Amino acid sequence: MSLIGQPVSRVDGRAKVTGGAQYAAEFDVRGLVHAALVTSTMPHGSILTMDTAAAEKADGVLAVITHLNADRLPYRRMKERPAVDPPSGEALRVFQDADVVFSGQPIGVVVAQTVEDARHAARLVRVTYNEAAEKTTFDSARAAAPSEATAEDGEPGETRRGHAVRALDEAEVRVDATYVHPREHHNAIEMHATIAAWDGDRLTLWDKTQWVGNTRAVIAHVFGLPEDHVRVLSPFVGGAFGSALRAWPHVTVAALAARRVGRPVRIELSRRECYTSIGFRPHTEQRVALGARRDGRLTAAIAEVAAQTSTYEEHAEETINAARTTYACPNVLTRYRFVRMHTNTPTSMRAPGHVSGAFALECAMDELAVQLGMDPMQLRILNHADRNEADDLPWSSKELLACYRTAAERFGWGERSWQPRALRDGGTLIGHGMATAIYPAHRSAASASATLFADGTALVRTAASDMGPGTYTAMTQVAADALDLPLQRVRFELGDTDMPKAPVHGGSMTMASVGCAVRAACETVRGELGADGAAYAEALRRRGLDHIEASADAEPGDESERFSSYAFGAVFVEVRIDPDLGMIRVPRIIGAYDVGCVVNPKIARSQCIGGMVGGLGMALLERADWDARFGRVMNGNLAEYLVPVHADVGELEALFVPSDDRRFNPLGVKGLAEIAICGVAPAIANAVHHATGRRVRELPITLEKLLA
């Protein structure tokens, strides 16, 4: 029986629950010392003075490094910017000058014998500034001539199909509204941390990263080293959601400090520092206008996005993609504009751009359904896109209609009353809402190696990552299936730049990319040995070998030129609301998904319910409270930045419709992690409207917005 499709428990589960799994900050490196950052306390200007005398005299301090005494680093130009970095602008050059461009910017580091000594001494550094005019509010920054963006997929900041403005003016029914998605932060349980150790001119980094190859490339660029002089290890990542895609300034700081003191240096960001030293989901404001005939057919769609970025880099997202691709519509206009603020640069956060765009579009579709007096699901089915009209390509596969039917039947959607405030349980208002979810399926080149041993076991290796979705487990299944070996006879290793190259562990591309390489490597070594699973040991003995190894590469062909590949889903939600207190509860969320071949339904379900919880937090809880006076997030902690806990979560159910996309890749898989969060927030917002009759267009939906 094939191991593909089996609900195998996590092969790394025992290591994680017994403490055997080592994360970046946990490696015991001989002679290790510790570092703590000194950060700016104002958003824009330059440093006038830095008094480090008290810090240098503090107990256990080995060095205090600032722009006044730091090594001048080469910051060698890279031939190509990393795919996870903004396409334009320039990353911070750590301690290379006195400029300050956001509050919380690293401006110094203290190295000491203990973490406590380092943090204490960092607080003793005294800084004075020459403050400059700052842009710390979204509205004032937007008024300062926002500029056109180029989104991550290379699409221009403005796209047109047909004549959207004219079609909207002529539409029989129109919706035109603005939707606000606030700044959000990743808040993974594992803090960002790096250990740096030099051996001559060779550097080893133990780093929390979703892409060891990128960390190696960036740090080699910063220090002017050949890439093969930098080794990066990251065998386990304790959650990231996109926050560990880039090599953030603290990685450079660790390497810089380790070279200065001649000892391995460990730096671990505090929870509050994770609100300024790594990225975040940007504040986004979207105007969505839809025009339709009275029968519900869309005739026009306009999406205009204004999104936050920093003043030194241009982080753009695919927010406009939802309006361009989700539904059939002959006339579409999209615009994406930067709002440059004195803040650190945003970064990808689960389903970057797509989840924000889906919130606005799917709420607008619900508003249109209300105006038309139509079932919101039927409106979506009526406007189902039979091909990707934005790229004028057929889908490589699409089972969205099956997603609607499956989830709606499970939810009991047909039994709902359409009138707001009509459903009650005693004094509690009940609301039902739904939304479409789509996310592009990505694939990149990847490599893997497979080794068969005379004892009948196998080792498969690739420089991928596992931040929690189950990479270790799913890749072990793919390898064992290809090798015709029992699961327990296969060991899979990842997270080391000494292993075959793998792409970024993000964008829901790992299984489609690395999985194909793993299968190819296993098939190659099996072919070279010319034997099947049970006969491996005997075949090796006949050849006088104790092992045989083979490597393989897997990369996309021309399928992206012939087809458009996406994952799809339909999300249905029930809310219960106390009309007097405005308190919202979500007793159930049901999602049906088309994600291609499901390698492991157990960990796939885990991914989906995790995405649902993330979407629930987005809809009802998460928001960075911004203090414009200081350019800082005020609630930079888990006491005041609210995320869902078990008491907030009701029944979560993930269903997978039959699908197998061999046009996209040989395994037939599509991405899963991102699609699971898309559609959840708008489904909740739509359910809130159904329950209360109140349309909330700014997230999160808090009780004061319902009671105002």
Omega of the bond leading into 700 within 30 degrees of 0 (cis): yes
Backbone angles phi, psi at 127, to 5 degrees: -130, 135
Place of tokens 């006339």: 331
- CA dist list (Å): 20 to 26, 190, 465, 470, 494: 11, 15, 17, 17, 16
C-beta of residue 433 within 8 angstroms of C-beta of residue 687? yes
DSSP states of 308-370: EEESSEE----TTHHHHHSB--S-EEEEEEEEEESSPPP---SSTTHHHHHHHHHHHHHHHHH
Whether 362 is catalytic is: no
Encode 591-620: b = buried (16+ Cβ within 10 Å), e = exposed: bbbbbbbbbbeebbbbbbbbbbbbbbbbbb
Q: What is the DSSP string of 494-558?
A: --BTTSPP---S-TT-HIIIIIHHHHHHHHHHHHHHT--GGGHHHHHHHHT-SEEEEEEEE---S
Decide if 34 contacts 111 (C-beta within 8 A): yes
Quote the CA–CA distance of 704 and 382 in Å, as a whole number: 36
Is there a contact between 362 and 435 (Cβ–Cβ < 8 Å)? yes
- The 3-state DSSP class for residue 394 equals coil
Q: Give the containing element (helix H, strand E) for 653.
A: strand 651-656
Q: Which residues face 423 on adjacent strands?
A: 430
Catalytic position from the list 134, 285, 389, 674:
674
| Cα distance between residue 679 and residue 463, in whole Å | 32
Residue 562, number of CB atoms within 10 A of its CB? 11
Tell me the sheet residues that pair with 66.
Answer: 108
Instruction: Give, in order, the Cα–Cα distances in Å from 172 to each of 166, 167, 177.
Output: 12, 10, 17
Return the H-helix or E-strand segment holding 288.
strand 284-292
CB 614 within 8 A of CB 649: no
| CA dist., res. 547 & res. 455, Å (int) | 9
Q: Indicate the burial class of 454 (C-beta count within 10 angstroms; 0-12, 13-18, 19 or more).
A: middle
Name the pairing type of β-strands 423-425 and 173-181: unpaired
CA distance 658 to 595: 9
Which residues have a catalytic role annotated? 674
